[in-house]
Structure 1
Amino acid sequence: MAVNYNELDISELDDLYIKSNQKLKNLRKKHEKILEEIENNIYDKENILKVIYAKENFVKFKDSKLYKDLQEYKKENPKGYERLEQELMQDIANGAD
Structure 2
Amino acid sequence: MKISARSSGGFAGLSEQYDIDTQAHPAGPGLEATLASSGFFTHPQGTGEQVGADIPHWQITVEAPAARRTITFAEDGSAENARWQQLLTQIRASA
TM-score of the superposed pair, with normalisation by structure 1 = 0.26
Q: Which has the higher helix share?
A: 1
Computing the radius of gyration from Cα coordinates, the structure with the larger value is 1
TM-score of the superposed pair, with normalisation by structure 2 = 0.26
Structure of higher RCO (CA pairs closer than 8 Å, 6+ residues apart) = 2
